[in-house]
Chains A and B, each alone.
Chain A
Amino acid sequence: MSEQNQSRNSDGRDFPWQHVIGFILSIVLTLLSLWIAFKTSLSTGMIMAIIIGFAFLQAAVQLFMFMHVTESEDGRFQMWNMVHAFIAFVIIIVGSIWVMSFGMSYMNHM
């Protein structure tokens, strides 16, 4: 691992443009979502759809700009990591919604 880091740093201590761009993109995406939720009069379903879309974009920004998914010498691990993350996502989020759905009518008055 250390060798890989060295080769990346050796071509100069140039400015971490990737990180800055990623940072700005994340902030912009977050602000955009806030704006859409608070300031537009779209239907709730529409707002949800757009925000979820932004969330995926944001996740991609994180993975590529900060977490170096493309830089590993062994992409297989990265792929398994993402599969693991995806399974976790489905089980936790989708599973919880399904299991808890019987009580959700209670939330109608929200």
Chain B
Amino acid sequence: MNHHVDHFFVKGDPMIYAADLMIIMTTLAVIFVLTYYKKWKWLWNEWLTTVDHKKIGIMYIIAAVLMMFRGGVDALLMRAQLTVPNEDFLDPQHYNEIFTTHGTIMILFMAMPFIIGLMNVAVPLQIGARDVAFPYLNALSFWSFFTAAMLFNLSFVIGGSPDAGWTAYAPLAEPELDPGVGQNFYLLSLQISGFSTLATGINFFVTILKMRAPGMSMMKLPIFSWSILVTSAIIIFAFPILAIALALMTFDRLFGAHFFTLTGEGLPMMWANLFWLWGHPEVYIVILPAFGVFSEVISTFSKKRLFGYKAMVWSMVLIGFLSLIVWVHHFFTMGAGPDVNSFFSISTMAIAIPTGVKIFNWLGTMFRGRIQFTTPMLWSLAFIPCFTIGGITGVMLAMAAADYQYHNSYFLVAHFHFVLISGTVFGCIAGLLYWYPKMFGHMLNEKIGKWAFWLFVPGFLICFLPMFFLGLDGMTRRVYTFSNSHWTDLNVIASIGAALMGIGFMVLVYNMIWSARYGKRDKTGDPWDGRTLEWATPTPIPHYNFALIPRIKRLDEFWYVKQNNEPSVLRSLPVSKLKPIHMPNSSGRPFVMSWLFFIVGFAAVFYVYWVAALALIGVLVCMGLRSFEIDDGHYVSVEEIKRTEKNRIKEA
């Protein structure tokens, strides 16, 4: 406690006062709207206590889009500061805090939840399941991610933001060099959200292995679900490492241990090692699902089955494995010997091979297809050349000797934004646009959507292409200003590109608001003429997903059933076969438990251990209550199923 509480509220910066004001106003507005329209009960019953994977997915995506806004504002602030030499719009400390929160939020609180949101929406539907394997755990995952994100964001106005980079390298992030509470926020919020991700990984791993519709063998599993299976396996490998590393550094900071400190026999380099043992697999955790989305979208809008499905599957499995043995390419310059660097140099380059296979498969899928240039398809098409640039520069970075030149320069910044934005962000957007009608029952406006695309993608290229050249010319990463006037032109161009991306994002969001009111309603449930099972459900999707679980005979079952007019429960439901459906009950406990986690984290950030201990006891009580609870779920009656599905019922 003591002096840390004196600095409880961050003072003295007009931007932060503005943020304080905005937070208060938004909170008041939300409370007012909910009270005025008498929506509290609805909010609690329909959303806060839900265990329905579709609603959880939607909440994940909403949170991710909000975080994309926050991370995007940070990005624009950084670009504003770096547009011309010797600017003093942001002071160095503030700049450090901004690039730290930008990186952390974008990877952990934007990309991750966006992907987890998409997998929640699509995977159980694609595999013909009624829910995920552990619905209650799923709700707990969402709420603990959400409270962790709130905890992290709070650091901006309370206590002060972390400022040691999203990689939080020791000893820089240790208390001697980084007093204050910012780094505690980083450690505790990542710990909570990491727990949530690990639970999700286990949940979906089991769901995909155990809950597939009868007949859906592994080689008939839709490609997006395959990508999530591999991703879940990587999560199960990588996230425990993060948990341990964070816990060790938390011990250093809160309890005076010396795992990574310079003094007391600590081993600071071990932090880099553990961080990237998690961190590199992490970038594949956010890229593989995007590969899955692109595969679905490209195949749907080329009206062809995916070219080389098996090669796609095996290349993902191989990428998944290789992603685990390349982590040292993030610190080639740390001082390890030539044998270590060579091994990791070669293993890194090897990833380019299966990745290349996938690129050819996407091109092969489009070849001689009937391509429809819908908005999700546009984002997928733009991904291919942009990602190729990212991949090629990645191979350049992977040469250990050459990396001594590129390391920590803007060249690296350009590289990883090319892969992260054109891969993950384009993939998330493509997936959102693709499944949007399924999630919300209406289409997005294609024209506004194309505006968003044509602002964002060129903006992205204008922003990041110049950075390759800035990097080669010697501009280093994580500098808050520069004085070399040779770099001005390229920096100005980059900032213009960043602004275009910002506008593109706003248009994208505007499209959602516009379409909620005026967008074309979709009653068919299958507006894109889809291939996989999710398009066989009616829209809005009944909470039990499938009245009758289909029997699967081939890949893209739904497509072939439609093409050949085959009789199938995917198209009409024989009444005689309907049976009551067993579903899990809602529960408020995941919500309560996650806010208790929040209190644990918040109190520990300020070293107020008795509060943290009390809240932790609360968590344990919740777990205890759960383990003694006799909750057998409930049944959906045949009557209710008939009422819900009246358009599809076939009397027989």
Contacts and interface: CB of A to CB of B under 8 A. Distances in A.
A96 B275 CA distance: 11
A84 B273 CA distance: 21
A100 B267 contact: yes
Interface in A53-108: 77, 84, 87-88, 91-92, 95-96, 98-103, 107
A95 B324 CA distance: 10
A91 B340 contact: no
Interface string B234-252: 0011000100000000000
Contacts of A98: 340
Given A92-B241, A95-B325, A96-B274, A102 B265 contact: no
A110 B258 CA distance: 14
A95 B335 CA distance: 16
B340 A103 contact: no
**Chain A contact residues: helix, strand, loop or mixed:** helix
Interface in B382-431: none
B274 A102 contact: no
B237 A102 contact: no
B277 A92 contact: yes
Nearest to B325: A91
A91 B274 CA distance: 11
A13 B428 CA distance: 50
A107 B209 CA distance: 45
A100 B324 contact: no
B10 interface: no
A23 to B, nearest CB: 18
Contact of B269 (A84, A91, A103): A103
A18 to B, nearest CB: 19
A94 to B, nearest CB: 11
A56 B265 CA distance: 29
Interface string B187-210: 000000000000000000000010
B567 interface: no
Contacts of B335: 102-103
B583 interface: no
Contacts, number: 39
B237 A99 contact: no
Nearest to B268: A103
B325 A102 contact: no
Given A84-B233, A95-B277, A96-B274, A103 B325 contact: no
Given A77-B209, A88-B237, A110 B277 contact: no
A92 B237 CA distance: 10
A99 B265 contact: no
B15 interface: no
Contact of A84 (B237, B241, B270, B277): B237
A35 to B, nearest CB: 25
Given A95-B325, A107-B265, A100 B233 contact: no
Contacts of B267: 100, 103, 107
Contact of B236 (A84, A96, A102, A103): A84
B179 to A, nearest CB: 26
Contact of A99 (B209, B233, B236, B328): B328
Contacts of A87: 324
A23 B270 CA distance: 33
Contact of A96 (B233, B237, B265, B277): B277
Contacts of A103: 267, 269, 335
Contact of A91 (B209, B233, B236, B324): B324
Nearest to B335: A102
Interface of A: 77, 84, 87-88, 91-92, 95-96, 98-103, 107, 110
Given A91-B277, A103-B335, 20 more contacts: A77-B209, A84-B233, A84-B236, A84-B237, A87-B324, A88-B237, A91-B237, A92-B241, A95-B325, A96-B273, A99-B273, A99-B336, A99-B340, A100-B269, A101-B336, A102-B336, A102-B337, A102-B340, A103-B267, A107-B265
> Which 6 A-B pairs have CB atoms at the shortest separation, nearest pair first?
A102-B336, A88-B237, A91-B324, A96-B273, A99-B340, A102-B337
